[in-house]
Structure 1
Amino acid sequence: MHFPDFFIVGAAKAGTTSLTSQLKACPSVFMTTPKEPEFFARDDRFALGPEWYAARYAKAKPGQITGESSTIHSLAPYFPQAAQRIA
């Protein structure tokens, strides 16, 4: 089961989509589709289990660095469990 090597955590409208697009253009990097799986913040997604989340990385090639960019992770007052789940 594969999990991300890195997260892009930023505010909405702060350039995360642009950064994600630039990273997707790099052959050594794999970014999830959808861009924001929101797995660690949303209870409904987290309840789907780690297998569901790991499937977001199924198309990553061996040796690629993997990441995701869910801006929702930066909304700690609304999703206080996100950082602990990521850790």
Structure 2
Amino acid sequence: MNIEDPRWDEYESRFRALSETVGITKGPQSELASAEMMLFLYGENGLLPEQEFELLTTLESRAADLKGTVMLTAYWEDIVLYLPTAAV
């Protein structure tokens, strides 16, 4: 989600709260390449804000199956929440 979006604070708050319930790992995660659902905190999700909130809600409802990782980009670390294919 674009940090300039008026709903950014809500998105960030919900995303971070959810990420705290998940075991966030660092480094490559082979499951991520085949994940059916994934959502980045700062990265470009390629979705409209409404779609990002819908996906976030879906991930919240599947928190027991959810995994997370930290990806390093050229400029920052980004948290990725995802559902492995086997969990979908």
Larger helix proportion of the pair: 2
With the length of structure 1 as denominator, give the TM-score of the two structures.
0.37
Instruction: State TM-score, norm by structure 2.
Output: 0.37
> Comparing both structures, which one devotes a greater share of its residues to strand?
2
Bigger RCO (CA 8 Å, 6+ sep): 1
